[in-house]
Every structure is written in C-alpha cells, then in structure tokens.
Amino acid sequence: MKTIRIQEVIKEKRTEKNLSQEALAESFGISVQAVSKWETGLSYPDITMLPKICDYFNITMDTLFYGEEEPSLRELPDDDKYRVVQCIGSKVISHEEYDSKKKIKLLIPSSSDKKFDLEVWGSADIDGDINGSVNAGGGVNCGGIGGYVEARGGVNCGSIGGFLKSNGGVNCGNVGGDADCQGSLNCGNIKGNATAQKIKCKRVEGNINCDKVIIKKDDDDED
C-alpha cells in the first residue's frame, strides 16, 4: 500500500519555490496555522483545495499524495502502445494510453501567463480560457480564445481575439477579425467581415454574406 506524503510534498514544493508559510497561506487565502498543520501532518487540506495545490505547484495528484514524479520520456516502456504525453520542457507531467472514447485533460496551469497555441487532431473540449490560437480537426468547446480559431466542426466558446473559421455552427462572444462559418453564427460584435448561412449578432463592422441577418438587442442573447 502506498504511503500518503501530502505533508512532505507540500513542504518540499514550498521550499523549492523559496516561499515562506506566510506567503503560501496568502496565495491560498488561508491561515498560516493551516499551512503549518498540513506540513506537520496534523491535518490534511480540504478536498476542494487539492486541485488548487496541484495547479499552484504544477504537479499531478499522484505526486501530491504519494510524492511520485512522472517519468521522463526515456523511461516510458517501448511496448508499441499509443500514448498521449504532456511535458513541461523535458519533464513529463502526464502520460496515458490513447483511447478514442476518452477525453484528454490538458494540464495547462490556469495561472500561467504564457501563450499556448493548440493543434488538436479531433474535437477539443476544454474547461477554461485559451490565451493562444486553436486549430482543431473537430469541434471546439472552451472559454475565451485570445487568438484565432480554425475548426472542422462547430465552435462553442467565449470571445475570440482573432479571426474565426468553422465548418459548423458557431456560438461565441465577440470576434476580433473575420468570421466565416458554414452553419449559423450566433455571436456578439464582429470586427471584420461575416460569412454564414444565418447570422445573429450585435454588430458587423465589415461586409456581410449570408441568407439571413438578425441584429441582437443588448438583452437578446438566445435564439
């Protein structure tokens, strides 16, 4: 049976970041006493805090509980199995056998200020925003997107910073460039040109090419 090492791992990771217990407590909005109890093993973090701790230290749940670091690429078995591997630099943070019926969770820290461009050979279902661009072979479901979006399926997201191109219908916020989709387009403001079978939006600053246009009122966001 594996030994739970949460208290040791939190202390080790805090020390690696050169953080005091006070600084760590402030980051999580808790008391210094709570952090001290975690590190001495007098209590464990609340279950709702566990994902936040993993995200803050950029570690997996297994590492937090048992201190087990993910292997490097060279340590993965040469068994001809397809694996989805995610790395930060040369450090493997996740690896799992490919399953076409299983969604892959992207382990991108929510606190990261780096720009991530995503290229997905399939549909992308992402819980959160993307500060880069998205190129998907299927549909896209996510929060806001800082760059452009190209998808062969439908798109359901927040605002898009760049242009939009989709082979399906689109529900989104504002679009920062041209919007081109082969289905219905339901969005906020469009900075560029708009092409779709049906467009429902607040404003289009460029040219419009479609069969039907509906201008939304401020309180009209649904079909």
- DSSP letter string, 108-168: --TT--S---EEESS-EE-SS-BSS-EEESS-EE-S-BSS-EEESS-EE-S-BSS-EEESS
DSSP 8-state symbol, 74: G
Length of the chain: 223
Confidence (pLDDT) at 10: 95
Q: Give residue-wise pLDDT tens across range 129-182.
A: 888 899 998 899 999 999 999 999 999 999 999 999 999 999 999 999 999 999
Mean pLDDT of the 3-26 span: 91
Place of tokens 């970041």: 17
Q: Give residue-wise pLDDT tens across range 95-134.
A: 777 777 776 766 665 545 566 677 777 788 887 788 889 9
86 in Cβ contact with 92 (< 8 Å): yes
Mean pLDDT of the 188-209 span: 95
Confidence (pLDDT) at 147: 93
Structure tokens at 37: 């109890």
Side-chain-side CA neighbours of residue 82 (13 Å): 3
pLDDT band at residue 213 under the 50/70/90 scheme = confident
Q: Is the pLDDT of residue 223 over 80?
A: no
Q: Rounded to a whole number, what is the distance in angstroms from the first to the last CA of the chain?
A: 55
Please, what are the domains in the chain? 6-66 (1.10.260.40), 70-108 (no CATH), 115-215 (no CATH)
